[in-house]
Amino acid sequence: QYFRSKMSAPLAADMKPIVDTQLSEVGAIAAYDKMMGQYKSMPFVPDVKADLTDHVLTKAIDGVFLYLGREEAAIRENPAKRTTELLQKVFAK
């Protein structure tokens, strides 16, 4: 949780232009905008304020921290995964 609290915002700032570019290049943003245009033209549907780039970015960051958590658990469980001096020092308990 420490890394998530300290690194989520800077990581998101660094990743956002990359995610936005990739979503544009594959046509996801255009498809999403078209779909939202059709949705908004329907009567009696609630207003939806969603940003595709932010959604993908949030899920990507969730994935990064999920992976880090699993790696940390594996390093704590298996001393053989402590392959560097720093890892040995940090996980020496």
Note the pLDDT tens digit of each residue in 36-69.
Answer: 999 999 999 998 888 999 999 999 999 999 999 9
33 CB neighbour count, 10 Å cutoff: 11
**Residue ranges of domains in the chain:** 2-90
Average pLDDT value over all residues in the chain: 93
Do residues 76 and 23 make contact, with C-beta atoms less than 8 angstroms apart? no
Give me the DSSP letters along 49-92. ---HHHHHHHHHHHHHHHHHHHHHHHHHH-GGG--SHHHHHHT-
Give the pLDDT of residue 27.
Answer: 98
Contact 19, 57 (CB under 8 A): yes
For residue 39, the model assigns a pLDDT of 92
End-to-end, the C-alpha distance of the chain in Å comes to: 19
State mean pLDDT over 66-81. 92
3-class SS of residue 35: helix
